């Protein structure tokens, strides 16, 4: 009997790649996604890779009755992976209440249902933004959290605390909080990948859309930081490595009996890479010069951060399989595929 997992935000970037990994590891998966930050054709891509059709519930998770109806119809859900959230840092600064209502409201509704239906395993999509601008740039899970740089980041800090308080009093639910660093790249099949809506804010889609001519040029936000080449340092991690960690986390929870505080894990490659190094890696892979200029710093940007990922590797027996070159190649192949399918 395959264990059934509810993935919220299943049509999203990380959600879709995680569904593929879950299916390929023998799980049964249903999705809840209202396509506010994604498109329904993503499920066609999942089917092309796995041969499986995903049942998706197009509902607003801030509506408790609608959320509960999913659990009512699927009383055999053994785990929930909660991705569904708005995640544009800049937009969250412009419209904080939209972020607090959606990200916190949907989380509390899901947890109410997890509690009511005694779902034993819960995995939360958190983010390295919970660290803010860390004093020590190589962060462990114990690195003290600074004030979040944006309302988006704050919804992740608050979300973690809500889950900790819930799990402490729960007699049935165990949880993992997975803190992603910078997920990039696409599935090697090029059937699914990142689909930024509108002008890309994140680095790698900005690179590939500039390279393919969707946008005329891109700007490097700041070249005067105290880093090895003046541009910001991040920990880029392939989205398929992020996906495999979710499957491993669920398998760990299912096999673990003791109820405990949520396990917190950093999901990063463990390597700090500057913006310019990322651009040069892309140029080497695509064999073309990227049209970029140096622009002013972007407010809210962390100067440098990358993960100490030892705990995730040890606890989950997780492996970071994709290199920076793989990240750029799969991102570029995906951009080329999007152009081909236009």
Q: Among residues 129, 155, 157, 247, which is the contact residue for ligand WQD, using CB under 6 A?
A: 129
DSSP for 217-270, please give it.
-EEEE-S-SSSSSSS-EE-EEEHHHHHHHHHHHHHHHHH-----SPEEEEES-S
The site map against ligand WQD for 261-290 (x = CB under 6 A) is: --------------x---------------
By C-beta, is 66 or 93 nearer to ligand WQD?
93
Asked if 152 is an active-site residue, the reply is yes
d(CA 262, CA 277): 35
Burial profile 207-245: b = 16 or more Cβ within 10 angstroms, e = fewer: bbbbbeeeeeebebbbbebebeeebbbbbbbbbbbbbbb
d(CA 236, CA 203): 10
Q: Among residues 301, 313, 326, 337, which is the contact residue for ligand WQD, using CB under 6 A?
A: 301
Residue 153, both tokens: 């980041």
H or E element that contains 132: none
Stretch binding ligand WQD (CB under 6 A), from 29-37, 49-57, 165-173, 197-205: 197-205
Is 240 near ligand WQD (CB under 6 A)?
A: no
Is 133 near ligand WQD (CB under 6 A)?
A: no
* Shortest distance (Å) from residue 126 CB to ligand WQD: 8
Residue nearest to ligand WQD (CB): 232
Is 89 near ligand WQD (CB under 6 A)?
A: yes
d(CA 263, CA 274): 30
Is 91 near ligand WQD (CB under 6 A)?
A: no
274: left (phi over 0), alpha (psi -120 to 50) or beta: beta
Q: How many residues does the chain have?
A: 342
Stretch binding ligand WQD (CB under 6 A), from 52-60, 161-169, 217-225, 329-337: 217-225
Stretch binding ligand WQD (CB under 6 A), from 61-69, 94-102, 219-227, 260-268: 219-227
Crossing angle for the helix pair 239-255 and 13-24, nearest 10 degrees?
A: 50
Given the residues 152, 154, 252, 322, select the one marked as catalytic. 152
CB atoms within 10 A of CB 116: 11
The site map against ligand WQD for 138-157 (x = CB under 6 A) is: --------------------
Contact 207, 330 (CB under 8 A): no
Is 309 near ligand WQD (CB under 6 A)?
A: no
Q: Among residues 22, 37, 110, 203, which is the contact residue for ligand WQD, using CB under 6 A?
A: 203
> CB-based contacts of 27: which residues, under 8 Å, 6+ apart?
2, 3, 4, 5, 247, 250
Is 46 near ligand WQD (CB under 6 A)?
A: no
**Residue found by looking up tokens 């690195």 in the block:** 143
Is 8 near ligand WQD (CB under 6 A)?
A: no
Catalytic residues: 152
Interface positions with ligand WQD (CB under 6 A): 87, 89, 127, 129, 180, 182, 201-203, 206, 218-221, 232, 234, 275, 298, 301
């Amino acid at each position: 009997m395959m264990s059934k997992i509810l993935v919220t935000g299943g049509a999203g970037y990380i959600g879709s790649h995680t569904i593929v990994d879950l299916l390929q590891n023998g799980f049964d998966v249903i999705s809840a996604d209202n396509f506010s930050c994604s498109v329904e054709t993503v499920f066609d891509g999942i089917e092309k890779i796995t041969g499986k059709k995903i049942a998706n519930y197009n509902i607003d998770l801030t509506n408790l009755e609608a959320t509960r109806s999913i659990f009512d119809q699927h009383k055999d859900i053994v785990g929930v992976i909660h991705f569904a959230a708005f995640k544009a840092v800049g937009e969250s600064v412009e419209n904080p209440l939209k972020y607090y209502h959606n990200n916190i409201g949907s989380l509390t509704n899901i947890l109410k249902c997890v509690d009511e239906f005694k779902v034993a395993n819960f995995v939360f999509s958190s983010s390295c933004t919970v660290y803010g601008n860390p004093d020590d740039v190589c962060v462990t899970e114990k690195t003290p959290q600074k004030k979040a740089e944006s309302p988006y980041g704050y919804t992740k800090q608050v979300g973690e605390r809500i889950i900790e308080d819930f799990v402490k009093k729960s007699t049935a639910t165990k949880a993992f909080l997975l803190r992603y660093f910078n997920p990039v790249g696409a599935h090697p099949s090029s059937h699914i990948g990142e689909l930024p809506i509108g002008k890309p804010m994140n680095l790698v889609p900005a690179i590939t859309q500039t390279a393919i001519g969707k946008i005329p040029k891109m700007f490097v936000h700041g070249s005067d930081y105290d880093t090895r080449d003046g541009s910001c340092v991040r920990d880029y991690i392939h989205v398929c490595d992020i996906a495999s960690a979710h499957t491993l986390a669920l398998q760990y929870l299912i096999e673990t009996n003791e109820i405990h505080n949520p396990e917190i894990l950093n999901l990063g490659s463990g390597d700090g890479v500057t913006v310019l190094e990322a651009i040069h890696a892309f140029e080497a892979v695509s064999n073309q010069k990227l049209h970029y200029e140096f622009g002013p710093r972007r407010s809210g940007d962390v100067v440098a951060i990358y993960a100490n990922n030892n705990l995730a590797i040890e606890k989950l027996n997780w492996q970071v399989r994709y290199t920076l070159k793989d990240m750029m190649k799969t991102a570029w192949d995906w951009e080329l595929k999007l152009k081909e399918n236009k």
